[in-house]
Amino acid sequence: MNTTDADARKLVRPMVEAVREGRLDEAEAMLDQISAVYPTPEDLVVFAVLIAIQRGQCREALCHLESLPGDPHPELKAFCLYLLGEPCWEGMAQTLEDSPDQSVRLAMKALLGRSLEAEFSN
């Protein structure tokens, strides 16, 4: 079966739903189909990481992240290191808690156990 770009786009929403609902084999199959046609599959590594984390395969999730050039998702790397009990996660999270990206900032503050009240009091 040939998967077109339109088919890949149609799979993204159900793939996200499958990840959220814990239907990981289904999500992974959709990810494989999308990766076969998506022009930059490294953009999809977040889904492979989330699937691995939900399966309790944090070291594999970290390997996915470390296979990418640069460090495009340091917040996910910090989270993986936290789950693995690696002490360096805290320094990474502290560096990211002032990120201009609100999602990253909130995630790192939550991971560090900081109050999120200031984030919502503007």
CA-CA distance, 104 to 101, in Å (whole number)? 5
Give the contacts of 109 (CB within 8 A, at least 6 positions apart): 97, 115, 116, 119
Same domain, 42 and 97: no
**pTM of the predicted model as reported, rounded to 2 decimal places:** 0.81
- The pLDDT, as a whole number, for residue 87 is 95
Task: Tell me whether residue 85 is in a domain.
Answer: yes
Tally of domains within the chain = 2
Residue 105 in this model has a pLDDT that exceeds 90: yes
Q: Backbone dihedral region of 22: left (phi > 0), alpha (psi from -120 to 50 degrees) or beta?
A: left
The position carrying tokens 């999120």 is 116
Q: What is the dihedral of CA 30, 31, 32, 34, to 10 degrees?
A: 90
Q: What is the pLDDT of residues 26-59, one digit of tens each?
A: 999 999 888 887 766 677 888 999 999 999 999 9
Give the contacts of 70 (CB within 8 A, at least 6 positions apart): none
- Give the residue numbers spanning the domain of 102: 79-115
Task: Tell me whether residue 121 is in a domain.
Answer: no
Same domain, 68 and 86: no
Same domain, 46 and 98: no
- The pLDDT, as a whole number, for residue 1 is 44
